[in-house]
A and B are shown apart, each in its own frame.
Chain A
Amino acid sequence: MFLNEFLIFAALLFCIGVYGVLVRKNGVMVLMSIELILNSVNINLVAFSTYNGDVGGQVFALFIIAVAAAEVGVGLAIVLLMYRNRRSIDIAEANLLKG
């Protein structure tokens, strides 16, 4: 069983996701990066689940997919409203909460 490979792959995916969240200005791209992070976690869960011979992890991954779908729904709605109000989805410009 090549557990390490899966873990390294997931770690890479996670890092790409984090990079995307931190660097991209486009709101949709940020959301996609978050999906990457979530999927890297899913890979971890499934990998460990197979490794340990316990389906619990896979069940959990299914839950995460369902939750991610909901989260994207909410996120896209926010982006859509942002576009309607500002004609832009650059999240760097959305700094109304600046102290």
Chain B
Amino acid sequence: MFATEVVETTVPWIYENVWLIPALPAASFVLILLFGKRFPYKGAEIGIVAVGAAFALALLTAGTWIGDIESADAGHGETESHDEGEGTGTDSHDEDESTESDEHDSLGLTDGESAAPSIVTVGAVAQAESSGHDAATRGEPIVTERTWFQSGDTKVPIGTLVDGQSVMLLFVVTLVSGLVHIYSTDYVHGDRRYTHYFAFLSLFTASMLFMVLASSTIQLIVGWELVGVCSFALIGHWWEDKPNSDAALKAFLTNRVGDIGLLVGMSILFFAAGSTFNIGEINAKAAAGEINGTALTWAAVALMAAVMSKSGQFVLHTWLPDAMAGPTPVSALIHAATMVVAGVYMIGRLYPVFWEGLTISGSNVNLMALIGGVTTVGGGVLAFVQRDIKKVLAYSTVSQLGYMVLALGVGAYTAGMFHLFTHAFFKACLFLGAGSVSHACHHSFDMKSDMGGLRKHMPITFWTFLIGSAALAGIPPLAGFWSKDEILAGAGVWPGTGGNGTYYIPFIFGMITAALTAAYMTRTVWLTFFGEYRGHEQPHESGRRITTPLIILAAMAATVGFLNMPGPFVAKLGLPSGIAHRFEQWVEPSGIPSFVSAEYNDFHHANPSFTLAIFATLLAAGSGLLVWRYYKALYAKDPMASEYTDGLRSRSGLARRGYSLLENKYYLDHLYTDTIAVAVKGPLARLANWTNQNILDGVVNLAGWVSVRTGRLVYRFVDQGVVDRTVNASGRTASGSGQMLRLIQSGQIRQYAALMFGGAAVLAAVFILAI
């Protein structure tokens, strides 16, 4: 479709003006805050229009970007038939937009020439020199930046960085945010802070987009913190209830812990990379081995702390389930598109730093893969015992984020990013679905007591939720299957999948999670939609403004996986070979030469394996089926049954103990609040009490008697004799010296002047004599 060879002499208009995308929601935030209440829909329409426009621009960016890459590939003799079979709404949009972008290219000619001279366009220069695209410049990041402020010789730039990764996230964030905006108009309808809610939704989106486009580490930190602040405001939206404001505080404070890691890591990188904040430069230097290895390792470890808090990795994940206190659309936004993926995104942004710092290519387990692995299994197990449908999804997010970190930890960069991409859609779909269910069940999230059998009452929600769950569980051919399969292949342990073949532990974690995910999602679907309805009031299907986003997201969740079908699968299915690995082509930072060395290649492009895919699918399907049968049997006996009294727990002591361990979330919250925070307070208080009762009480009486006696003696001799006399003496001294000093204060200006001149003369004399 891009057969015409466009020899570009300037960058497309959108690349230089991509700053508009975060600017639009930011402007909408200010507008809503100032004038929102005067608008007919209380400011919601401003947010929707701004985010919608940002989405259109993001589509334009994505289209231009994809067009550039495809035309570069076509120029290399590959016949690319980009006409996929998966042409869903967005895909066809992509194509429409990219043809549209060609028109914009001609616009860009004039715009580019009249652009302010202070704009430095690094990528553009490189592109112009090579007259069009060839393999070297294809996919090269395009940086547009200007100096924000300067301190000494250090310039702090602010700008935008357009590459596959940021374009991908621009698309995801604006789409999910736009749908969440529409959904919210119904969901928080009539809320007392309706306008305020939409203002912060806009700011949240703007901050995330700002962070996504960051071209310097400083900008990244600013966006990162802004996202944190907005999440605080939105999680605590209903702050009148104590648990909600507690949850908001917890999210904020836990994130602060990691932010210290971020600051430390970025500072180390700044100094180690030779005083630069430029992300591209840091990456290039790290990949070329020009940064001290020890510094890189420490920077990577410090940054991992930031990832742990922001992306909810074990052991700092505890804020994430509590963040469910916020309104459900906010949870969807936090968990799918913004906030929690910030950590994963940051790893991707500075991937060479982690790659070199943690020696991903040469180890069989490293910090990142280990944290990811523990998180993915730990979160998956926790999701199993929740009563609250949102908490299941929250722990599922923890688990899936662990999956992404694990993927990045074993070197499967593209797989991690792809999973981020697909996860955004099905998780947003699930969260909004959970919100719809709760809307129907009169704002309860309790699956055990208020849900069940809802499939008859709310078919649209049921089907979209089912698609989202199946995608999450990795059932082919839905999105989750492709991304999860790629991660498992990326671990390189399965025969013939590439990598260095030593990441056994992460691979096993990944496999366990594949089974766990299917199991807990089956449980959730069963408890919510099957069996008998256990609530009290009649449930009802939600309105169109809620179901439409659900349908769109479910369609995305079902189809986006085809964007990165591995070559052999494509061949097996008899599809044109051109549609294989499109996502990889678009997103991978192939423009950085050192990033596509043979070593990287080996890790990033795992060979797909049929046996692995079949094995993982069977594992997921098997565990899902097992859970299905268990619940079916359980509820067949008694429609109001509960696994608390009738399930495994009542029969096996081991299960009971395991359950209580999980119910208390591995006691991590207890560790933080009861042990670490109270470590000093609790035991000390008990010790003090014991001492008080047993030792002090006896001593006190004696002490009292002694002190009364001593007191009398002290009064007579010390107080009257020594203290009073001292006090009087000091008073007299002060008064006497005051009397003497009073004489100097004559009130005569001439005398003051004389003293001043005399002093100056003495100083001058000292100067002269000393020199």
- Name A's B-contacting residues (CB within 8 A): 18, 21-23, 30, 91-92, 94-99
Contacts and interface: CB of A to CB of B under 8 A. Distances in A.
Contact of A92 (B741, B744, B750): B750
Contacts of B749: 30, 91, 94
B747 interface: yes
B736 to A, nearest CB: 14
Contact of B753 (A21, A92, A94, A96): A21
Nearest to A96: B747
A91 B747 CA distance: 10
Contacts of A92: 748, 750
Which residue of A91, A94, A97, A99 has the most chain B CB atoms within 10 A of its CB atom?
A99
B745 A22 contact: no
Contacts of B742: 99
B746 A95 contact: yes
Contacts of A21: 750, 753, 757
B750 A95 contact: no
Interface in B736-760: 741-750, 753-754, 757
A68 B749 CA distance: 19
Contacts of A99: 741-747
Contact of A91 (B743, B745, B750): B750
A80 B749 CA distance: 17
B754 A22 contact: yes
B753 A95 contact: no
B747 A98 contact: yes
Nearest to B739: A99
Contacts of A30: 749-750
A92 B750 CA distance: 8
Contact of A98 (B746, B750, B753, B757): B746
Interface of B: 741-750, 753-754, 757
B747 A97 contact: yes
Contacts of B745: 97-99
27 contacts: A21-B753, A21-B757, A22-B750, A22-B753, A22-B754, A22-B757, A23-B750, A30-B750, A91-B748, A91-B749, A91-B750, A92-B748, A92-B750, A94-B747, A95-B746, A95-B747, A95-B748, A96-B747, A97-B745, A97-B747, A98-B745, A98-B748, A99-B741, A99-B743, A99-B744, A99-B745, A99-B747
A95 B746 CA distance: 7
Given A97-B745, A98-B747, 15 more contacts: A22-B753, A22-B757, A91-B748, A91-B749, A91-B750, A92-B750, A94-B747, A95-B747, A95-B748, A98-B748, A99-B741, A99-B742, A99-B744, A99-B745, A99-B747
A94 B751 CA distance: 12
A88 B177 CA distance: 80
Contact of B757 (A18, A23, A91, A95): A18
Contacts of B743: 99
A21 B749 CA distance: 9
Nearest to A37: B757
A99 to B, nearest CB: 3
What are the nearest 8 A-B pairs in CB distance?
A: A99-B745, A95-B747, A98-B747, A99-B742, A97-B747, A21-B753, A91-B749, A22-B754
Nearest to A34: B753
Nearest to A14: B757
Nearest to A97: B747
Nearest to B754: A22
A22 B747 CA distance: 14
A95 B750 CA distance: 10
A55 to B, nearest CB: 26
B254 to A, nearest CB: 57
A30 B750 CA distance: 9
Which residue of B743, B745, B748 has the most chain A CB atoms within 10 A of its CB atom?
B748
Contacts of A97: 745, 747
Contacts of B748: 91-92, 95, 98
A85 to B, nearest CB: 15
B741 to A, nearest CB: 8
A36 to B, nearest CB: 13
A58 B720 CA distance: 70
A39 B744 CA distance: 30
A22 B744 CA distance: 16
Nearest to A92: B748
Contacts of A23: 750
A95 B751 CA distance: 11
A47 to B, nearest CB: 18
Contacts of A22: 750, 753-754, 757
Contacts of A96: 747
Contacts of B744: 99
Contacts of A94: 747, 749
A83 to B, nearest CB: 16
B762 to A, nearest CB: 14
Nearest to B742: A99
A67 to B, nearest CB: 18
Contacts of B741: 99
Contacts of A98: 745-748
A64 B74 CA distance: 75
B755 to A, nearest CB: 10
Contacts of A91: 748-750
A18 B755 CA distance: 12
A47 B26 CA distance: 61
A91 B750 CA distance: 8
Contacts of B754: 22
A95 B752 CA distance: 12
A22 B760 CA distance: 14
Nearest to A23: B750
A99 B741 CA distance: 9
A22 B749 CA distance: 9
A10 to B, nearest CB: 14
B575 to A, nearest CB: 80
Nearest to B744: A99
Nearest to B757: A18
Which residue of B741, B744, B746, B747 has the most chain A CB atoms within 10 A of its CB atom?
B747
Contacts of A18: 757
A22 B753 CA distance: 7
B735 to A, nearest CB: 13
B744 to A, nearest CB: 7
A18 B761 CA distance: 12
